[in-house]
Amino acid sequence: MVIVDVLTLFPKMIEAFVQESILGRAQVEGKLHVRVHNFRDFSLDKHHKVDDTPYGGGAGMVLQVEPIVRALRSIEGHQHAHKILLTPSGTPYHQGHAKRLTQYPHLILICGHYEGFDERIVHYIDEEISIGDYVLTGGEAAALVVMESVVRLHTGVLNNAESTEEESFEDDLLEYPHYTKPMVFEGHEVPEVLRTGHHENIRLWRLDQQLKRTRERRPDLLVKREKKQR
């Protein structure tokens, strides 16, 4: 059983995604427990305000540390959970991080908004993650990316455990192209080799496609792969 708590100002965004995705099924089957908390409920302000103007001046509003810490402390088992802040200033996320995060049975994901968080939140969390070099309006989409990529790696959450072993980023290569019926669609044919039933030739063709694609689209991955092989 994996437990994921999400702290957000928009609980419905998280709830809807979980319900409609494969994560919903994992939850029904008792393999996953997602709990969503609105940190506005933990504001001490009479208008439930959770942001304020920045010390030192400047544009925009900053999320206050107090409601977030109060929300964190309300979570059962929070002392032992691994706490992640989603922010564009965090460490860039990749499949290696998803694998590493499977070691934690309990994750807490904190979604930001506005200009960012009061920096003192760092004393209450374990790491900061960015899902890429672009700025979203809030951390919700990022929290969903992290949650989905981690939870699907937990054995038993996906039906076929082996399907995660042969996918993109294993061995720092992109996946080879897949084909299914029909054999010809509007003149576009399935590559001949895949129809021969010659397993060794198919394996070599797929590896060649992986290398070609990776060279064209993600040369950075090939550099990483070569360093590891040395």
Binding residues (CB under 6 A) for ligand ADE: these are: 86-88, 112, 130-132, 134-136, 139, 142
Please say whether the beta carbons of 149 and 23 come within 8 A. Answer: no
Q: What is residue 2's DSSP assignment?
A: E
Q: How far is the CB of 112 from ligand ADE (least distance, A)?
A: 6
Q: What is residue 112's DSSP assignment?
A: -
In 3-state terms, what secondary structure has residue 218?
Answer: coil
With respect to ligand ADE, which residue has the nearer C-beta, 86 or 174? Answer: 86
Q: How far is the CB of 97 from ligand ADE (least distance, A)?
A: 12
With respect to ligand ADE, which residue has the nearer C-beta, 18 or 110? Answer: 110
With respect to ligand ADE, which residue has the nearer C-beta, 42 or 93? Answer: 93
Helix (H) or strand (E) holding 89: strand 82-92
With respect to ligand ADE, which residue has the nearer C-beta, 119 or 216? Answer: 119
Residue that has been written with the tokens 């922010």 in this structure: 87
Q: How far is the CB of 81 from ligand ADE (least distance, A)?
A: 19
With respect to ligand ADE, which residue has the nearer C-beta, 62 or 131? Answer: 131
Q: How far is the CB of 133 from ligand ADE (least distance, A)?
A: 7
Our CA dihedral for 23, 28, 33, 38, rounded to 10 degrees, sits at: 80
Tokens of 83: 């706490």
Please say whether the beta carbons of 128 and 75 come within 8 A. Answer: no
Residue that has been written with the tokens 């010809």 in this structure: 184
Count CB-CB contacts under 10 A for residue 116: 17
Q: How far is the CB of 59 from ligand ADE (least distance, A)?
A: 16
Q: How far is the CB of 174 from ligand ADE (least distance, A)?
A: 22
Tokens of 203: 């394996």
Q: What is residue 211's DSSP assignment?
A: H
Q: Which residue is nearest to ligand ADE (CB)?
A: 142
With respect to ligand ADE, which residue has the nearer C-beta, 65 or 222? Answer: 65
CA 19 and chain centroid, separation:
17
For the chain, give the number of residues: 230
